[in-house]
Structure 1
Amino acid sequence: LISFADARGRLRRLRVVAVDRASVSAEAASGAYVEPGVHLRVRRGATMIHEEDLGALPALEEPLLLAVGDILLVTTGAVPGRPARRDDAGRVIAPASIPCTLPEVFREVLPGERIWFDDGKLGGVVRAATADVLTVAITAGRDGGVRLRSDKGINLPDSTLTLPCLSPQDRQDLGFARRHADLVGLSFVRHPGDVAELVGLLGAGPRRPGIILKIETPQAFAALPAILLAGLAAGPLGVMVARGDLAVEVGFARLAEVQEEILWLSEAAHLPVIWGTQVLETLAKKGIATRAEVTDAAMSVRAECVMLNKGPHIVAAVRFLADVLGRMRAHQAKKSTLLRRLAVSRQG
């Protein structure tokens, strides 16, 4: 039994349930707030067997709360992000900052261009750009602010980026994928040369994996016919309508039109399509679907495959989706309406 007074001075007890060479697992009936220096007492039965102060604790990630009107610095390097620093009167004396793991983009971003974070949850405009810092004015976000956490995506829809589609690590990993994978997904493809490079690295032969082209940028959409032709010449091919980044890049209002045209072009090329991003996400995560999600799931019948995200209710989401698609297949085949007899109609 481990006993201690937590950071609030409340007595807490932990019961040891497992021990191995590197760690001890213990359970508590009540929550506890601990900090370095909390004194721990370990008892076995009625005998005290050990006492020690708690050492340093691992750093806890804290999200940055950002709202419309705030200034955010996007920096190069691996320096952790930090919240804005304020004086005693609450005035900002140093804006919040976050790092970007692709320093190459800093030389290609210009003032006045838009920037989006976390799949479009937070947006802004670049006010100043240097070789190592982008100064961003936050212009879009929900009321009350947005909590921005680490490892979230950054989109630059107005910037002309010349980054290679495949990183050095990607090229190294493709050797393993060629031997063991059935499919390789190509993210942020922009032009036919990206596809040709991947095909060349995968090589030829019957064991070569198929390719899934993730269409998620305006450049890819504009060059889609040529991109599809480059892929068709190489072997098994599919298309993913990656609606998360695609919506941020082309604008939410235009997403519906763009995904329709991707479906048309893919059908004309006789290519299977994956309908992805946030399909029945509320159901998978919280246990009940929204009305808009049900309509979106019904629209996905025009693709050959639907991608669901993980969640505690994923089994229910799969069953619900199967039910919706089973009904919709009688009404729709790809982009063609079947004009079946309506359930409310009567014979005679």
Structure 2
Amino acid sequence: MPGADLPPAVIGCALPEVLDYVNPGERIWFDDGKIGGVVDRVEPDTVHVRITQARAKGEKLRNDKGINLPDSNLPLPSLTAKDLEDLAFVAQHADMVGLSFVSKAAEVEQLQQHLARLSERTVAIILKIETQRGFEQLPALLLSAMQAGSCGVMIARGDLAVECGFERLAEVQEEILWLCEAAHVPVIWATQVLESLASGGLPSRAEVTDAAMSDRAECVMLNKGPRVMQAVQTLDSILRRMQAHQRKKSSMLRSLHVAHTTWHLEPANS
């Protein structure tokens, strides 16, 4: 019934150990920022959250959705026990490995040591910049990753926007692009590129502009969807057009199409 008191919803967390580092007053976000809240109080094995942001009609929180704690200091290892187990296969067969939620140079060095122990092959390391701390430590992360000889950076804009604030995302990704270009490190532009088109229907105007801006990266990642092939074709068309105008951060100053238009001007009345 509308207006009736409902019992608080209860959800689980795949990494319950993070609850030991959460404090009252800290922000918490669910499902890439679709639902936001503030930690009210912390009890053993339970964190009470007051929801402060959601759609007026409510929001559904499905399984396997992410949880972000941008204000909490979470001293969790970047490489989990499952990651270390999977590295044996990765080292023998993969061309690159993504290091998620990396925030310390020591984590990059640890991954390099494990890969060197498991195989003589060179496996590229992709630094997935997904947190405020990862962004702030990017220079140190790059210096460590570049020692391996083959590395790249992914601007993981889903978590990064939630962690840094949506209003800061454009500025943050701009700084990442500048820094990686100076270091001659390739960049992957990721998350929600032409998502409306890939999932069905037409891309929004904002998505087309976003896809055009992705030309400044070396690689663009598209998510899965029933129309992903159409999204690839559209992205290819957009990037081919943009490459004539800009190469990474440098404008090409090509002649404009409008400059070749013939104008017929009527004489002004005397």
TM-score (norm 1): 0.73
Q: Residue 122 of structure 2 contacts residue 150 of structure 2 at CA under 8 Å; is this kept in 1? A: no
The Cα of 1:206 is off from its aligned counterpart by: 4.9
Helix, strand or coil: the match of 1:91?
coil
Identity %: 59
Higher helix share: 2
Whether 2:99 is the aligned partner of 1:166: answer: no
Whether 2:268 is the aligned partner of 1:339: answer: no
The Cα of 1:286 is off from its aligned counterpart by: 1.2
The Cα of 1:337 is off from its aligned counterpart by: 1.2
The Cα of 1:89 is off from its aligned counterpart by: 8.0
Q: Residue 107 of structure 1 contacts residue 130 of structure 1 at CA under 8 Å; is this kept in 2? A: no
1:249-270 per-residue CA deviation (whole Å, 9 max, x = no partner) reads 0000000000000000100110
After superposition, residues 1-348 of structure 1 pair within 5 angstroms as 90-92=4-6, 94-203=7-116, 206-346=120-260
Report the RMSD for the aligned CA atoms in angstroms: 1.6
Q: Residue 273 of structure 1 contacts residue 303 of structure 1 at CA under 8 Å; is this kept in 2? A: yes
Task: Tell me how far apart the structure 2 counterparts of residues 203 and 261 of structure 1 sit (CA, whole Å).
Answer: 31
Helix, strand or coil: the match of 2:109?
helix
Higher strand share: 1
Letter in 2 for 1:177: V
Larger deviation, residues 322-331 vs 136-145 = 136-145
Letter in 2 for 1:180: H
Q: Residue 32 of structure 2 contacts residue 158 of structure 2 at CA under 8 Å; is this kept in 1? A: yes
Letter in 1 for 2:8: P
Helix, strand or coil: the match of 1:147?
coil
Task: Tell me how far apart the structure 2 counterparts of residues 131 and 332 of structure 1 sit (CA, whole Å).
Answer: 54
The Cα of 1:142 is off from its aligned counterpart by: 1.7
Helix, strand or coil: the match of 2:74?
coil
Task: Tell me how far apart the structure 2 counterparts of residues 203 and 264 of structure 1 sit (CA, whole Å).
Answer: 30
Figure out how many residues of one structure are paired with residues of the other and give that number: 261
1:197-245 per-residue CA deviation (whole Å, 9 max, x = no partner) reads 1001101665131111100111111111010000001121010000000
Change (3 A) 1:321 1:137: same
Structure 1 unmatched ranges of 5 or more? 1-85
Task: Find the structure with the greater CA-based Rg.
Answer: 1
Task: Tell me how far apart the structure 1 counterparts of residues 110 and 120 of structure 2 sit (CA, whole Å).
Answer: 19
Helix, strand or coil: the match of 2:154?
strand
Letter in 2 for 1:131: P
Task: Tell me how far apart the structure 1 counterparts of residues 80 and 226 of structure 2 sit (CA, whole Å).
Answer: 33
Change (3 A) 1:285 1:90: same
Helix, strand or coil: the match of 2:196?
helix
Stretches of 4+ moved more than 3 A in 1?
A: none
TM-score (norm 2): 0.93
Task: Tell me how far apart the structure 2 counterparts of residues 184 and 140 of structure 1 sit (CA, whole Å).
Answer: 35
Q: Residue 241 of structure 1 contacts residue 273 of structure 1 at CA under 8 Å; is this kept in 2? A: yes
The Cα of 1:145 is off from its aligned counterpart by: 0.9
Task: Tell me how far apart the structure 2 counterparts of residues 142 and 293 of structure 1 sit (CA, whole Å).
Answer: 22
Change (3 A) 1:124 1:347: closer
The Cα of 1:278 is off from its aligned counterpart by: 0.2
The Cα of 1:346 is off from its aligned counterpart by: 3.2
Letter in 2 for 1:197: Q
Structure 2 unmatched ranges of 5 or more? 263-270
Q: Residue 242 of structure 1 contacts residue 277 of structure 1 at CA under 8 Å; is this kept in 2? A: yes
Task: Tell me how far apart the structure 2 counterparts of residues 100 and 332 of structure 1 sit (CA, whole Å).
Answer: 44
Letter in 1 for 2:131: T
Letter in 1 for 2:75: T
Task: Tell me how far apart the structure 2 counterparts of residues 305 and 333 of structure 1 sit (CA, whole Å).
Answer: 13
